Amino acid sequence: MNLGSEIIFQLLSVVLIIIGMVFFLAGTLGLLRFPDIYTRLHALTKADNVGLGFVVLGLVLQVDSFTSALLLIFIWLLVMLAGAGGGQLVAQAALQHGIPVWTKTDGEEKR
């Protein structure tokens, strides 16, 4: 690769990783701001999976071998499965323990 294309790959990698960090930040804000466990789980699982996807794409541009790139993508897929499964288990446990779903009626919070 010549120097110009290498700089473009470096910049694209940095941009993708920063986008991923923004999604992680959005998921963290959702965890802190949303009213109940179910919406918090939704924010975390969705934003973290998308954020990790962008970080992985940014890292794939940095690796030297095709095997390393496939390994990064495989790890991302495993994390997506674990996040979805873990979120489902936490939501089921919350329902079994009677934690109500947040609803908003007439401008007032009802729990």
Q: What is the pLDDT of residues 14-27, one digit of tens each?
A: 999 999 999 999 99
- Global pTM reads 0.84
pLDDT of residue 1 exceeding 80: no
Write out the residue range of the structural domain in which residue 42 sits: 3-110
pLDDT of residue 28 exceeding 60: yes
> What φ, ψ does residue 65 adopt, rounded to 5°?
-120, 155
For the chain, the domain total comes to 1
Q: Give the model confidence (pLDDT) of 43-91 as tens digits.
A: 989 999 999 999 999 999 999 999 999 999 999 999 999 998 999 999 9
pLDDT of the residue at 110: 54
Other CB atoms within 10 Å distance of the CB of residue 89: 10
**Nearest 10 degrees: CA dihedral of 74, 79, 82, 87?**
-150
pLDDT of the residue at 63: 94
